[in-house]
A = this chain, B = another copy of it.
Amino acid sequence: MSWTSRLEEKTKQVESVLNQYLPKEEGFQKTVISAMNYSFLAGGKRLRPMLMQETYRLFGGNGKVIEPFMAAQEMIHTYSLVHDDLPAMDNDEYRRGRKTTHIVYGEGMAILAGDGLLNFAYETACKAFLIESNERVIEALQVLAAKAGIYGMIGGQTADVEGEDLPPEKVTNELLLFIHTNKTAALIQSSMMIGAILAGAGKEQIQSIEKIAYNVGVAFQIQDDILDVTSTTEVLGKPVGSDEKNHKVTYVSLNGLETSKKDVERLSKEALSLLEKLPGENPFLVELITSLITREK
């Protein structure tokens, strides 16, 4: 079976877990729930819950306690997209070929749907206590919240929004790395860390996973900047050269193409080497991570 087919198969398996946690569309609050589910069911590869589950398996986890966390993480990811797409933010009318939530449900309801998803993520994660009530679940909850907030994803999002209005000379490597680390890597970190924590990994192993996920997230974003320069619209499925056209400061414009490629390679090698050193084996996880950082589209 090709990698694409195997990945699709995994996505379906992950979705069958996630879908159990969706709220029923009923009651006087039916509209906000429909808007939440519309956003949640817009598709995507479900990478974050997939990474969470596969890391859990790497450390020998085989229980159901991971499942509410998988759903919670995807709800957090989804709410961030719903709010990102709003007119006051990126003002996007389409995402993955479907109309965005505020286009279908109106702006007010999209704000409420995002809030609903974020809050329901914590309600859902709390369901893990019904399966196992122990220190691991508490730690997983702390990591979920920390990486999603102002010292994680929201922090990165803030810097990204503000960065767009800065004069180019103010956009430093330090700022770009802050954005990549927090906007993208933070949720990959919490996904993998929660998998490790719930499977009972040790402190050093969790730190190693945090580092691997950091490298994966940052390499993924630098690769994004590289492909905008080196790929073609046909391969990428979206217009290339848009960063240069928009005078956007990127990792590539700051560091050059060669250094950027070397950095992706260094981050990738380090991630895979750290992963190899961990006890347990999960060939699918290795392949998934490799595909994320060496992607051509």
Which A residues are closer than 8 A to B by beta carbons?
23, 27-29, 31-33, 36, 79-80, 83, 86, 88-89, 106-109, 111-112, 114-116, 118-120, 122-123, 126, 129, 133, 135, 138, 141-142, 145-146, 148-151, 154-159, 161-162, 175, 178-179, 182
B162 and A149 form a contact (CB under 8 A): no
In angstroms, Cα B89 to Cα A114, docked, is 14
Minimum CB–CB distance for A16 against chain B, Å: 23
Query: Which B residues are CB-close (under 8 A) to A126?
Result: 138, 141-142, 145
16 CB-based A-B contacts, threshold 8 Å: A28-B158, A28-B179, A29-B151, A29-B182, A31-B162, A80-B115, A83-B115, A88-B106, A88-B107, A109-B161, A114-B115, A116-B150, A116-B154, A118-B118, A123-B146, A138-B138
Would you call A112 and B145 a contact (CB within 8 A)?
A: no
How many identical subunits does the complex contain? 2
A28 to chain B, nearest CB (A): 4
- What is the bound-complex CA distance between A150 and B162, given in angstroms? 31
Inter-subunit contact A89/B108 (CB<8 Å):
yes
Chain B, Cβ-Cβ closest to A174: B28
* Chain B residue at minimum C-beta to C-beta distance from A33: B150
Which secondary structure dominates where chain A touches chain B?
Answer: helix
Nearest Cβ distance between residue A27 and chain B, in whole angstroms? 7
Contact A158 B31 (CB under 8 A): yes
- Taking the closest CB of chain B, its distance from the CB of A91, in whole angstroms, is 10
In the docked arrangement, what's the CA distance between A20 and B165, Å? 33
CA distance A116 to B115 in the complex (A): 11
Residue on B nearest A110 in the bound complex, by CB: B88
Question: Which single residue of chain B is at the shortest CB-CB distance from A155?
Answer: B29
Q: Which of B109, B116, B145, B161 contacts A123 (CB 8 A)?
A: B145
> How far apart are A138's CB and chain B's nearest CB, in angstroms?
5
| Least distance between A133 CB and chain B CB atoms (Å) | 7
Judge whether B142 and A138 touch: CB under 8 Å: no
User: Which of B80, B116, B150 is close to A36, meaning CB atoms less than 8 Å apart?
Assistant: B150
Instruction: Find chain B residues with CB under 8 A from A32 CB.
Output: 150, 154-155, 158
Are B29 and A154 in touch, CB under 8 angstroms?
Answer: yes
B150 close to A29 (CB less than 8 A): yes
**How far apart sit A142 and B137, CA to CA, in the bound complex (Å)?**
13
CB distance from A144 to the nearest CB of B (A): 8
A75→B173 CA distance, assembly (Å): 33
